[in-house]
Structure 1
Amino acid sequence: MEENNSPKNGKSYLCISIKDNGSGILEEYKNKIFEPFFTTKSDGFGIGLSSSYDQILEMGGLMDFSSKSNEGSIFNIYLPITSQYSDAELHHHQGTKLYSGTILVVDDEEQIRLLMKQNLEEKGFNVITAENGLLAYEILENESEKISGVLTDIRMPIMRGTELYEKVIDKNPQMKFVIMTGYFDEIIDNDQYQNILKIKKPILEDDLIRICNELQQ
């Protein structure tokens, strides 16, 4: 988002400004700060600002910022002021937490597991996570009856996502899977993997919710 990109669509907004007196944001980082997993901290996940930005957009709001070296930064949050919702908006807001079911998220990257768990639980899903295919297989061996579906990465140590699928489907052919991949060249043969849905990384929150809801249908 460009700096000082305040709303100009004729609507009324509440503006919340947050200012600090830090060192400012470097020019080369200004176009990246709202991206998931972007961080300049060695112990950070890069989730907080990205998650806040997405939630503000979901509410129909905007966020912009200005920053000067050695003077600090100002973040402006614009939230729409309204006395009532339209029927479509009311349906949307009432439906945001009506999802249910338990999803098993399998990914070897901790920050991805945490972000997906957070996003799905906010919408009403129960979430179990596993850091590799073998651990996920052990969970499914013991808890498959309560799990609606599996959301798994392909490339993981110990056991790949496709291997996990094959082992599980051999015993439980009704279990539904979603394969996540960040690689365009990783093509899944749909004839061989009939119950697998596919989604490409990085995953937008709306796409994540949509495909997890499909797992329960």
Structure 2
Amino acid sequence: MDRQIVFLLVLLLTLLVFGFTVRKYSGYFKHTRKGFPVKQLGRRFGVMMEVAIGQTKIFRRPVMGLLHALVFWGFLVILIGSIEMIIDGLSGTERALAFLGGFHSFIMASGDIFALIIAVGILVFLFRRVFLHVKRFSGIEMKHISHLDANVALTMILLLMVSLLGMNTFYILSATHAGHGVVGLYPISNMFASWIDAGDHNEFWHQFNWWMHIG
């Protein structure tokens, strides 16, 4: 129950900050000129799905474009797992969406694989920014604070993926040691679980990574 109360407080604080930010930026629209009428909604929706979800424009640079797209698509998949974590945090359950059966296992396995792909992608992005001095990252409009913001954001994403893999890995170890069945499929974390074992501290590290990821 204590964990649920703490989680609820953290969630409410997060929603409060989010709501304040939305209100702040939506207020800027009051100072803009009236826009043109929006027409051809079907066509606009198709373009949005193609460009925003399909990430088609970013493939002008095939290798880095694919890596960026994989990071974006991975976040969409991992978002479903995050919804489950919110339900677990509020209700005190463990893997609340397990009743979805095979679909749940598919989502968990996909999220586990994408977590590694995203982590590798972020390391590549950071390496390019810090060591390769890519020309388009060093234009006169790119101030020092812009580079710092980008590096901090990438580092935070990397920590999110590390904590997700850590959470899954120590969940497998904790459940196995306790004699419980593992709910879901975690191909990458299963591999990590075969390399490490914190013994009696597996559940501690499971909870540590859970809070680190959801926080």
TM-score by length of 1: 0.25
Q: Which has the higher strand share?
A: 1
Higher relative contact order (Cα pairs below 8 Å, separated by 6+ residues):
2
- Structure number with higher helix proportion: 2
